[in-house]
Amino acid sequence: MLLPTATMTAVQAAILEWYRRKGRDLPWRRTRDPYAILVAEAMLQQTQVDRVRPKWESFLQVFPTLRDLAAAARADVVRAWAGLGYNRRAVALHEIARTVVEAGGNTLPATVAELRALPGIGPYTAGAIACFALGLPEAVLDTNVRRVLDRIFAIEALPGVPADRHGWAMARAALPPNADVYDWNQALMDLGATICVARAPRCGVCPVRESCAAVSSVEVSPTVTGPTPLPGLEGFARVAEAPASYRPTSSRRPTERFEGSRRWYRGRAVAALRALAPGATMGIDALGALVDPEYEGLSRRAWLLELLGDLARDGLVVVIGEGEASVARLA
């Protein structure tokens, strides 16, 4: 079963109307500054919106422009990132700024291809900057957008088509053919974050519940003589059989315990070094006692040096010396 174009138009209209009434008031939606939007997108990766709001504003106060960020010491950028986790994102953001400024620029490039050429910018971030800052009709595909489109249209990839390629084709095919692309992309993200959530979606208040394949089978009008694929998906994907009803699963995939994980230890190491005065260092065993509550010098020193080696390769810390005489600081 393929969806007729009329269904796509109705879905777009319903979602856009819902967004203009119910869309979240987020501070980065009040700017078209590519740099400010880049900072927001970097912070929003794997971090909840409520945690990002105050950090985005405070970060921009410290580094108001791309050139300010490029001129800053890496350690100062990592300090300003405190509270967001995944500190490699701060390193990547700093590297983007340095790359642009060292090439003679004062602002981010104005095309998706040029944005993708920068270190650390993938297809989602490039599309987000192009659409939200530059006003280009580019699609975005994050977890929320993918979930919403998958549920509404139940279009599955043909055998051999990678999931990402299929997802991007779907996101591009669903773009409205007018100036509503900015609102459309934001609307899909809001719908996925607030209503069409991963578990226990709020289907009863969804603006497209009557058209969603995950709620009920979509009936093709008898006047349609044949299936009409979404523009851009002809010969690329087929529509899966839509379920008669949607029952969200209550099962959850087991997740790694965060406390005691390698990421937990990495975060504690960066946090301990972040607390030092700029340029100050800390001895390896003193740092180990702060990173691991059960640290006992020699028996865990090799493990800690390996952990710090990973952080050094990520551009987060500098380790000076060897063995027991080692000291560390932020990069």
Catalytic residues: 41
How many whole angstroms separate alpha carbon 327 and alpha carbon 273? 11
CB 201 within 8 A of CB 248: yes
CA distance 95 to 20: 36
Q: What's the token pair of residue 224? A: 């349609």
Instruction: Compute the residue count for the chain.
Output: 331
- Sequential DSSP letters for 245-287: S------------STTSHHHHHHHHHHHHHTSPTT--EEHHHH
Looking at 103-222, list the stretches that DSSP marks H as alpha helix, in order from N- to C-terminal side: 112-116, 123-132, 143-153, 163-173, 181-194
The tokens for 25 are 């008031």
Give the pairing type, strands 237-239 and 317-320: unpaired
3-class secondary-structure state, position 289: helix
Distance CA 139, CA 124 (A): 8
Torsion angle in degrees (nearest 10) through CA of 320, 322, 326, 331: 30
2 and 228 Cβ atoms separated by less than 8 Å: yes
**Rounded to whole angstroms, how far apart are CA atoms 257 and 265?**
12
Asked if residues 108 and 35 have their Cβ atoms less than 8 Å apart, the reply is: yes
